């Protein structure tokens, strides 16, 4: 028997790698930004948001990571609803990278153009998180292209991840009503963004493994030869 006959098809491997790439960057980004900034400044300090690290020594890491996520999402191909939403999410991720937030920027350097870019950044970030929640709550819980539904435990996991993203967005928006000194001390936006990024990263990593398992052919059982019987005496 050909040992390669039980390998998953190349398309499934490619989609799995794209999902794994998106999820891995999502899981690593908050840790790399926070730890990298602390190592560079040699101070145990946190910024007000993940996007705020654009205005720190971690600018290239932030921009590069968001562009990488964007490219992964744009190149993601599975079936039409996910293809379209993945492309839109990818464009939004690149927009988040290229239009910096004004949060964390030196006040004396912020002009009208910067504020406009900050508004574009906020709208793109909100749209990106909303689409990532849609992947978890709607698309990941659907049956695969062969019509096989995901396991119940997987559905629960995806929905929890999607719910955490929605909760994080709601809490981040609500935190804007807090006094400035409280927001700078507690940093609710940073924690909410970190929670949302971790949730979407975990969901995409889990879905990448589920896709590969579903696409791997199950070996057919080896037929057994019937036991010969003695002829019946005449």
Q: List, for residues 156-181, the tens digit of each pLDDT value.
A: 999 999 999 999 999 999 998 999 88
Within a 10 A sphere around the Cβ of 223, how many other Cβ atoms? 6
Give the confidence band of 17 by pLDDT, cuts at 50, 70, 90: confident
Within a 10 A sphere around the Cβ of 146, how many other Cβ atoms? 7
60-73 core/surface letters (b: 16 or more CB in 10 A; e: else): ebbbebbbbbbbbb
* Mean pLDDT, residues 107-134 taken together: 86
Residue 218: pLDDT over 70: no
């Amino acid at each position: 028997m050909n040992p390669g006959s039980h390998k998953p098809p190349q398309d499934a491997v490619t989609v799995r790698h794209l999902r794994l790439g998106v999820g891995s960057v999502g899981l690593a980004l908050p840790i790399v930004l926070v730890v990298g900034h602390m190592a560079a400044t040699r101070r145990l300090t946190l910024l007000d948001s993940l996007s705020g690290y654009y205005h720190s020594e971690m600018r290239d890491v932030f921009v590069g990571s968001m562009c990488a996520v964007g490219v992964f999402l744009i190149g993601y191909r599975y079936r039409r609803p996910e293809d379209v939403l993945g492309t839109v999410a990818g464009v939004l991720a690149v927009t988040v990278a290229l239009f910096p937030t004004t949060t964390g920027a030196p006040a004396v350097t912020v002009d009208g153009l910067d504020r406009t870019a900050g508004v574009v950044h906020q709208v793109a970030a909100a749209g990106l998180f909303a689409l990532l929640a849609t992947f978890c709550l709607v698309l990941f819980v659907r049956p695969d292209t062969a019509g096989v539904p995901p396991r119940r435990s997987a559905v629960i996991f995806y929905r929890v991840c999607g719910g955490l993203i929605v909760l994080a967005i709601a809490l981040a928006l609500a935190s804007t009503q807090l006094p400035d000194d409280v927001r700078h001390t507690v940093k609710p936006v940073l924690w909410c963004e970190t929670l949302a990024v971790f949730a979407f990263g975990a969901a995409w990593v889990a879905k990448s493994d589920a896709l590969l398992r579903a696409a791997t052919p199950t070996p057919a059982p080896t037929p057994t030869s019937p036991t010969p019987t003695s002829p019946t005496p005449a």
